[in-house]
Chains A and B, each alone.
Chain A
Amino acid sequence: MITLTLKERTAVPLEAESLSPDVTANLSCDAVRALPVLLGKHPYRVDEFFDVEGEAGDELAIRGDAGNVKWIGRGMTRGKIAVEGNAGMHLGAYMKGGTIEVSANASDWVGAEMSGGSIHIHGNAGGQIGAGYRGSPKGMTGGTVIVDGAAGLEVGMRMRRGIIVVRGPVRDFAGLQMKGGSIFLLGGAELRTGAWMIRGTIVTLKEVPLLPTFAHDYDGNPVFMRLMARHLQALGISIPCEPHEGTYQCHSGDSAVPGRGEILVWRPVG
């Protein structure tokens, strides 16, 4: 495992897509030290900002406040990155496989346009988790993102497949223009959840305001929720699904598109 310890938080963001197991796996420690990163418009070596230790392998640990370090794990296909602290924008964007774990907070665009692998943020995340970049027809097409804390705007924007779980509250436009996949909002959401969604499923355990273009479809405990709950259980997330606990109120929309997405709002018994 290679361990990179940030010497100090930089004044302007550092762009560091070379911090990925695909790049470092077969490199010596010295070669990792010489990898390029960009501070503003200037290229530098990794070791001008990080203390680098350890041996080559599929694992990478990043320590220190990397809240200003962008593009960690960009497009990675394998291995593991453990960020012990914060991570900057675009963490795991375009990721295809492997795992990323962040002990504190992450910024915007976590797992943007990812197609596989898993990301776990123990703190809060920014907006546009698993989203498509501006103008792109689709966001994430596979993989899993779990956020233990809160998240920002446009979570899962235009996602096509995959799973996003946010334990804390999210802000506006969760599941915006969603095309498929599942978003689980354990802490509810602010406004405009599921706006313009075409397909896909948003499950919320707290009441959320719904757009007028969503219609109440049915109340119940659909079978697929039971399957989902079992799948999520394996990831350490428990979702209620038994009739004795409550029911899901299912709304379909967004009829403005028109779309056939679903928003399931949990109604506990009593």
Chain B
Amino acid sequence: MLRITGGKVYDPANGIDGVVKDISIADGRIVAAVDGGRVIDARGMIVFPGGVDIHTHVAGAALNFARAMTPENHRQATAFLHTPERRAGLGGQTPTTFATGYLYAGMGYTTVVEAAVPILSAKHTHEELRDTPIVDKGCCVLMANNEIVLDLLEAGEIERAKEVVAWLIWAAKGYGVKAVNPGGVTAWKWGKDAKTLSEPVVGYSNVTPAKIIASLAHIVDQLGLPHPLHLHCNNLGVPGNVATTLETMKVLEGNRAHMAHLQFHSYGGADWHTMRSEAAAIAEYFNAHPNLTCDAGAILFGNAVTITADGPWQHLLHQLTGKKWGNLDVENETGCGIVPYTYKGSNLVNAVQWAVGLELLLLIDDPWRVFLTTDHPNGACFWRYPEIIHLLMHADVRRERVKKLPAKAQSRTTLGDLDREYSLLDIATITSAGPARALGLANKGRLGIGADADLAIYNEKPDGELLFRYPRYVIKGGEIVVEEGEIRKMSEGREFIVQPTYDGAIEEYLRPLFQQYYTMSFENYPVELERLEGADVRQLDGHG
């Protein structure tokens, strides 16, 4: 039992905006009142629902590949020393699993969604998530280049495709469905890409990226998944991709969708020299279409590691930069590419990218539909979120930074003209309440009675440090996990999983295909539920 008294509470889900009120906790939940237990005196502090990261890459084959590729980054990373309470690890661009838990919790985040999970290696992802302490977790499963699904779309068998998608989600023990560069990753297996939405994907005659997007969004809604289709659009990172992104959003009309790392998809211009921000055009369309949510995918200057299932983009980036390149194609399903990257303020392209991320966060009106992310570790490391929050809350700081950009870059963005400043309530919305709602996690991102007792408590006026960087207390599931900047308890998080309804007969359809195309026996493909620790299974009854 625990009581937090005297803090200013920010709880957007309940319309509470900086009201001083007590919060009582018992059995891991927020309750009306408790009798006895510890009391935290939170006077001079602000109380937030624990952060929810809707899009991050913290576990699995691709990230583990990146770790092996970048020992030079690890040598400069924050070292987590082994103690009786804590495992050893490294922070940096691609933190080790234990360090990932400590770093998220140490920033006040208590729920994270690993955004790109191949089914074939999902066992590996879950093994890593099991070694990621404190935070609760969920997975988005890669589907938009799954050739069994694509073959069904080619044949016009949308009903069977839906059964297959449902089966695959459960096989991977996933929470949502992710689409990355629909059709483009499949094409990459022949060294090609999918650059337009309306042309057939390499190897198909009826399947276009548009068809994949529309079909998957429809299937996800039909299955009643709590989180809509989680979409990484075609043409990521390419100047002029605003046209593709707008066209994609039109294709999504009538369905829900979450547009991932929208910053990387909001560029105008014809090439790298003429690249400019089109955040305003994207935001205008987005504001008028409430079926959509998005996360920023903002970048910050400094070192990053780009990791994405978007193989062709990564090969291009490798050729442009001459940096190391890792590529891992996953049979019949997806792929991934890895290129370490440094964003520089003096570079025109990087400067525009930096501005676009902030512009989107400021130009999209509704904080319930745009969420704070850096597409970790692609745009910046997640542990740098407080730097972005600082920029969102202070227009003057932004303007000073804009002035330091190359003159050409300044003329390609409107960031310096934007006066909007985020309030604390807005910050609580984009970091917690909003993403929790978009994920359909009813007990996260709020501080009302019955909610999970995940809270972060910060000094209202931190002494010379960025607000939100070092919480005074972080409470996860009712336990104090961080106190005075130190990890105090290494609790285990839960994993959220959905079990959609499907006809068991679909296995008889899949089995022979599987034996033909895969190199693993069908029985070994699904992730065993026992493999997961703290599985929190939600059964869905939606069936068409």
Contacts and interface: CB of A to CB of B under 8 A. Distances in A.
| Any A–B CB pair closer than 8 Å | yes
Interface of A: 133-137
A134 B70 CA distance: 9
Given A133-B71, A135-B70, A136-B75, 10 more contacts: A133-B72, A133-B75, A134-B71, A134-B72, A135-B69, A135-B71, A135-B72, A135-B73, A136-B72, A137-B72
Contacts of B69: 135
Interface residues of B, number: 6
Contacts of B73: 135
A128 B69 CA distance: 20
13 contacts: A133-B71, A133-B72, A133-B75, A134-B71, A134-B72, A135-B69, A135-B70, A135-B71, A135-B72, A135-B73, A136-B72, A136-B75, A137-B72
Nearest to A41: B82
A71 to B, nearest CB: 14
A136 B75 CA distance: 10
A139 to B, nearest CB: 12
A211 B494 CA distance: 56
Contacts, number: 13
Interface string B49-82: 0000000000000000000011111010000000
Nearest to B324: A135
A135 B72 CA distance: 5
Interface string B426-466: 00000000000000000000000000000000000000000
A38 to B, nearest CB: 13
B201 to A, nearest CB: 36
Contacts of B70: 135
B66 to A, nearest CB: 12
The 10 A-B pairs at the shortest CB distance, nearest first, are namely A135-B71, A135-B72, A136-B72, A134-B71, A135-B70, A133-B75, A137-B72, A133-B72, A133-B71, A135-B69
Contacts of A134: 71-72
Contacts of A136: 72, 75
B344 to A, nearest CB: 15
The listed residue with most B CB atoms (<10 A of its CB), out of A133, A134, A135, A137, is: A135
Contacts of B75: 133, 136
A260 to B, nearest CB: 15
A135 B94 CA distance: 15
Nearest to B70: A135
Contacts of B72: 133-137
B138 to A, nearest CB: 32
Contacts of B71: 133-135
A152 to B, nearest CB: 21
A157 to B, nearest CB: 13
Nearest to A134: B71
Contacts of A133: 71-72, 75
A136 B72 CA distance: 5
B343 to A, nearest CB: 16
A137 B72 CA distance: 8
A133 B70 CA distance: 11
Nearest to A136: B72
A58 B70 CA distance: 37
A232 B69 CA distance: 38
Contacts of A135: 69-73
Contacts of A137: 72
B92 to A, nearest CB: 12
A73 B72 CA distance: 21
Nearest to B75: A133
A128 to B, nearest CB: 14
A137 B69 CA distance: 12
A136 B333 CA distance: 33
A133 B71 CA distance: 9
B55 to A, nearest CB: 27
A137 B342 CA distance: 13
A140 B69 CA distance: 21
Interface in B56-115: 69-73, 75
Nearest to B82: A41
A11 B75 CA distance: 27
